[in-house]
Amino acid sequence: MDIDELMRRLFEFYPDGCTVDVREPFFALISTVMSHRTRDDVTYPAAERLFERFSTPEEMVEADVEEIEALIKDVGFYRVKAGRIKEISRILLEEYNGTVPDEMETLLKLPGVGRKTANCVLAHAFLKEDALAVDTHVHRISNRLGLVVTKNPEETEIELKKILPQKYWRHVNILLVKFGQNVCRPVSSRCGICVLNDMCPKILL
């Protein structure tokens, strides 16, 4: 498959995917933790509400967990996530002087932070060129397009890094999440409007 042509079409279909949305590290970390199993259009309004009230690790640690829960109640598993937000904030203060780490291995030590979350933080907060965030959309679509044959997002990240030029890594999550939400959906894919339908093995069969 012509990777450059595939990316060109996605960039043309989603022009805002050309620019990585730069976020403050603490907001990037907490909002991505909040996004687990929650749509972006729910996550980010909730994150904005939370950060209007508590915007630093110090403020989060001092906050009542019930108030955090009330501010983020629209996101899935909000009670679990409220506890994680306080715990992450405590660890940042006690072990990292209130600063979000900019290394994968260190981020993965934080509760509720997996490779997808860590890569999102590295890409959006620190503009790391070697960050490639793989969530369920990226994993599913990469396999559907035949780019990889993998069993989980971790394997997909490894295999995508072998075939995608690094200049695309920071953009893949932005583009394929949008694509997976409104075109290449898990069920009832909109193949008729897909800009990749002549490249997709599912269509060509």
Tokens coding 17? 């995917």
Q: Which of 135, 161, 162, 198 is catalytic?
A: 135
Q: How far apart are CA 139 and CA 39, in angstroms?
A: 17
For residues 72 and 34, the answer to whether their CB atoms sit within 8 Å is yes
Of the listed ranges 7-21, 104-118, 122-136, 174-188, the one predicted with least confidence: 7-21
200 assigned ligand-binding residue: yes
Q: What does pTM read for this prediction?
A: 0.87
For residues 133 and 173, the answer to whether their CB atoms sit within 8 Å is yes
Catalytic status, residue 135: yes
What would the pLDDT profile of 35-48 be if each residue is shown by its tens digit? 988 888 899 999 99
Catalytic status, residue 116: yes
18 assigned ligand-binding residue: no
For residues 58 and 98, the answer to whether their CB atoms sit within 8 Å is yes
120 assigned ligand-binding residue: no
Residue closest to 141 by CA, chosen among 105, 172, 171, 163 = 172
Topology classification of domain 3-18+132-204: Endonuclease Iii, domain 2 (1.10.1670)
Topology classification of domain 25-124: Endonuclease III; domain 1 (1.10.340)
**Residue 147: which residues within 8 A CB-CB, separation 6 or more?**
1, 159, 160, 163
In the block, residue with structure tokens 């906050």: 63
Q: How far apart are CA 193 and CA 200, in angstroms?
A: 13
Q: How far apart are CA 50 and CA 42, in angstroms?
A: 13
Q: Which of 64, 116, 128, 161 is catalytic?
A: 116
- Map out the domains of the chain as residue ranges: 3-18+132-204, 25-124
* pLDDT given at position 205: 45
Is 25-124 in the same CATH topology as 3-18+132-204?
no
